[in-house]
Copies of this chain bind each other. A is one copy, B any other.
Amino acid sequence: MITSPAQLRDEIRAANWTGPTAGMLRGYQQANFVAVPEAHAFDFLLFCVRNPQVCPVIAVTAPGDPWVNLDSGTADVRTDIPRYRVWKSGELVEEPVEVSKYWAGDMVGFLLGCSHTFEGPLADAGYTVRQHASPAPPVYITNRQTVSAGKIHGPLAVSMRSFPAGQVAGIVQLTARYPTGHGSPIHIGDPSGLGITDLLAPDFGPTPEIPDGEVPMFWACGVTPQLVLPRLGMHTLITHYPGHMFVFDNKPVPEH
């Protein structure tokens, strides 16, 4: 029985847990992971600053340094995430459970807020995330462009959860209070407004079932860096594997 983020990271580091973190340790801050060579770090940090709902920055490691200071001690971004994706020169080469051998001396790691973060507060407020979207929601590539930074540009990815029409306003207000969970939805309703032609054919994740009377709600998604960064052909690019996140020691304090 895993009862704390520190214990979960211990189990992950020992490779005793290699599955998704979605739905685990409800309420704790979960994070997307991206690591790029130092030569690309300024552009990527600027991309995060210019797209704060897509990439809310929580922590950044020093160049070459895999350590993150947490309330309970120090975490190692090379080993403390259950599964990774690794690109070399833009080609996906492996999806390993730790990345020590890929961690070059110039890598800079970014931990970026994730929408799993607001699923606990949604449940506490009495909202039910449909089974098809829990723990991992379907994800779509949209026709909306991110704000570019240096050589980094490309489309926005969104996650989707559907809710009864009468709950939509309350869910907007609740999620808006969690900027490190991507904040409020960026689009509600007709998916064609995002260039999504078939809601039943997501680009990643499960096929949704949307009952009559439910409204699809779309949030900016931390998978976006995995779409826009590989094309840069950097010598090494590392991300988390979707749904397999870094878990912080804290629960985010909701903004008023």
A residues near B, CB below 8 A?
A: 38, 41-42, 45-46, 48-49, 57, 60, 62, 108, 150
Contacts and interface: CB of A to CB of B under 8 A. Distances in A.
A42 B49 contact: no
Nearest to A40: B42
Given A45-B45, A48-B49, 12 more contacts: A38-B42, A41-B42, A42-B42, A42-B45, A42-B108, A45-B46, A45-B49, A46-B60, A49-B49, A49-B57, A49-B60, A62-B150
A60 B49 CA distance: 10
Nearest to A60: B46
A150 B38 CA distance: 12
A211 B79 CA distance: 59
Nearest to A50: B60
Contacts of A49: 45, 48-49, 57, 60
Contacts of A108: 42
A72 B45 CA distance: 27
A41 B149 CA distance: 13
A158 B46 CA distance: 26
Contacts of A57: 49
A82 B46 CA distance: 27
14 contacts: A38-B42, A41-B42, A42-B42, A42-B45, A42-B108, A45-B45, A45-B46, A45-B49, A46-B60, A48-B49, A49-B49, A49-B57, A49-B60, A62-B150
Contacts of A42: 38, 41-42, 45, 108
Contacts of A45: 42, 45-46, 49
A80 to B, nearest CB: 21
A168 B42 CA distance: 39
Interface centre among A41, A48, A108 (most CB of B within 10 A): A41
